[in-house]
Amino acid sequence: MPAPVLIAYATRSGSTGEVAEAIGTRMRAAGLEVEVAPMRSLKSIGERTAVVLGAPLYMARLPGELCHFLARNQKALAAPKTWFFVLGPILGKPEEFDAAHAHAEENLAKFAWFKPSDLRVFGGKFDVNRMPFPFNLARYLPAFPAKDMAPSDIRDWDAISEWAGAIAQQLLPAA
């Protein structure tokens, strides 16, 4: 029996972890064995046939936790089929999604060897009062555009489930 599909994520406030869990739930419902874990808890990825990675995009940057994970798992990530998702947009504007996709590609370019089958951008969750350090300090800057923004959550759970289902369909013939 093949090793479970690994869904590893970096998260700052828990939103990306919630999406990773939803992806895992959908893939399990399709009949796959899945392990969902924060990147920081994984010493290695083991021998996997499929890996889904996820991270938030803050101020056009992917977190260092993801970059360290990719660097230390370069050899292990060469064999499995991979997918990557990013949470970032908070307003839902198409240009915001396009920019997030471009920023994610730009950040991943540092890891030229990492070629995910798909890079997907999903809407994010935002609450200026729950931003992690050091981003929470930005709300005190007069020029910070989102300091008075109401909390929002534009994660599209149907799109997330659909994406996870499509990945599962690609993997099921091999399972």
pLDDT of residue 24 exceeding 80 = yes
Counting every residue, how long is the chain?
175
pLDDT of residue 174 exceeding 70 = no
- Report the predicted TM-score, pTM, of the whole model to 2 decimal places: 0.87
CA distance 161 to 24: 9
Query: What does the DSSP 8-state code read for residue 71?
Result: H
- Name the CA dihedral angle for 6, 62, 107, 27, rounded to a multiple of 10 degrees: 20
Question: What pLDDT, in 10s, does the model give residues 69-128?
Answer: 999 999 999 989 999 999 988 888 899 999 999 999 999 999 999 999 999 999 988 665
The C-alpha angle with vertex 161 and arms to 59 and 96, in degrees rounded to 5, equals 25
Q: Kindly state the percentage of the chain with pLDDT values over 90.
A: 67
- Report all structural domains of the chain as residue ranges with CATH numbers, in order of start: 5-174 (3.40.50.360)
Question: What pLDDT, in 10s, does the model give residues 46-71?
Answer: 889 999 999 999 888 999 999 999 99
Alpha helical stretches, state H, 45-171: 64-72, 94-108, 157-171
